[in-house]
Amino acid sequence: MTHFTAVVLFALFASVVFGITQRETPPRMFRYGIYCFVLFTGSAIALSWVMFLIAR
Amino acid sequence: MATAPNTTAAAKQESQPGFVYLPLIAGWLVPGAGHFLLRKWGRGALLAASILSMFVLGLVMQGKLYTGAHDILDILGMAGDLGNGLLYVVSRVFSLGADQVQVTTADYGTRFIVVAGLLNVIAAVDAHNLRTGRKA
């Protein structure tokens, strides 16, 4: 399993739980889940680039 | 008025007989069980699938199960692991999980197991909120 696969799986499972528990109606749960997933993976990718550029 | 739906839900839930903390305890012991008790089948199935998958993936990645509290980080890790309820107990009984982190993926696996426990606690509290009517 690559680091990126681990990040995507982590983001997926955490987003499902956050979506269901933090919102009340199914459409809002879905939207919040997508929002969390994008934030998890997006921030991981952004921080990875920052660390890559610092290490050069 | 914003509080009207919650007030209605609270009144509806208060009329339900039984032990009010049962969904909280069941949800902690078995992921998703709290929602199943409240007949929230879809939510329960998604929560159970997510938390179980995360826990099993952590074990497959040779993640470590915290067994003792030697320092503050171990205490926090064990608190997270205990959130998995019976999954943690069964894994300890069958000696699943690595004793020491030896490969990089095992470090990820350890975090997966801890986070699965923390997510399970959030899910159990959500079931309790549904039962008390704090959430619709």
* Minimal CA separation from B93 to chain A, in Å: 26
pLDDT at A9: 95
CA distance B83 to B114: 8
- Counting residues of chain B whose pLDDT is more than 90, the rounded percentage is 62
* Residues B50, B45: Cα–Cα separation, whole Å: 8
Shortest distance, CA A17 to any CA of chain B (angstroms): 6
DSSP state of B136: -
ipTM score of complex: 0.90
For the residues A42-55, what does the mean pLDDT come to?
93
| In chain B, where the domains are located | 18-132
Selected for mutation to probe chain B from A3, A5, A17 (highest B CB count within 10 Å) is A17
The mean per-residue pLDDT over the stretch B25-50 comes to: 95
Q: For residue B118, give the chain A residue with the closest CA.
A: A14
Per-residue confidence (pLDDT) for residue B72, from 0 to 100: 87
Comparing CB atoms, the residue among B46, B115, B135 nearest residue A16 is B46
Q: Flag whether residue A1 sits within 8 Å of chain B, measured between CB atoms.
A: yes
Q: How far is A21 from chain B (nearest CA, A)?
A: 6
Is the pTM for the entire model greater than 0.90?
A: no
Question: Quick one: CA torsion of B33, B36, B41, B47, rounded to 10 degrees?
Answer: -20
Distance of CA A16 to CAs B25, B90, B124, Å? 21, 25, 14
